Amino acid sequence: MNVKQLLDKLAGILNDERHAQIEKYKSLKKVLKALRNEKVALQAKLENTRDVTQRQEIESRLKIVTAQRKKGLVVLKELKKERKNQS
């Protein structure tokens, strides 16, 4: 852990708002990771599915996960920016 990370942790403990921001950032990363895993799993499922209706279902689900990830990445970027400005 370098000095910057240590300072970040300390600031997080001392400042309530900053602490909440860090926790949200962490949660968002966790959710995005879960969404990425779901996307990979859906892509694999799509490759192995021949039934047209099932394929349509998986495709729309895939589109939703992609859109959610896209939105999540934008939020993550904003959070990152806010953190940078504060430090």
**Residue 60 or 87 with smaller CB distance to another protein:** 60
Closest approach, Cβ 3 to another protein, in A, equals 26
Closest approach, Cβ 5 to another protein, in A, equals 20
Which of 8, 11, 12, 31 is close enough to bind another protein by CB under 8 A? 31
CA distance linking residue 12 with residue 78, whole number of Å:
18
> Which residue matches tokens 């926790």?
23
**Residue 23 or 82 with smaller CB distance to another protein:** 23
Examine residue 36 and tell whether it contacts another protein (CB under 8 A). no
Query: What is the 3-state secondary structure of 53-85?
Result: HHHHHHHHHHHHHHHHHHHHHHHHHHHHHHHHH
